[in-house]
Amino acid sequence: MSPSRFKLVFFSPVAHTNVVLNHLFHKYPSNVGRIGKYEHCAFITPGTGQFRPTVGCNPFSGSVGELTHVEEHRVEVLVEDEGQDEEIRGAICELKTIHPYDEVAYDVYRLENF
* CATH number for the domain that contains residue 106: 3.30.70.120
Q: How many domains does the chain have?
A: 1
- The domain containing residue 44 runs over which residues? 4-111
Q: What integer pLDDT is reported at residue 113 of this predicted model?
A: 76
- What does the pLDDT look like over 11-37, one tens digit per residue? 999 999 999 999 999 999 999 999 999
Closest Cα to residue 23, out of 104, 82, 84, 85? 104
- What does the pLDDT look like over 35-46, one tens digit per residue? 999 999 999 999
CB 17 within 8 A of CB 73: yes
- What does the pLDDT look like over 78-97, one tens digit per residue? 999 887 788 999 999 999 99
Q: What integer pLDDT is reported at residue 3 of this predicted model?
A: 83
CB 87 within 8 A of CB 80: yes
The pTM (predicted TM-score) of the whole model is 0.92
Distance between CA 10 and CA 76 in Å, rounded? 7
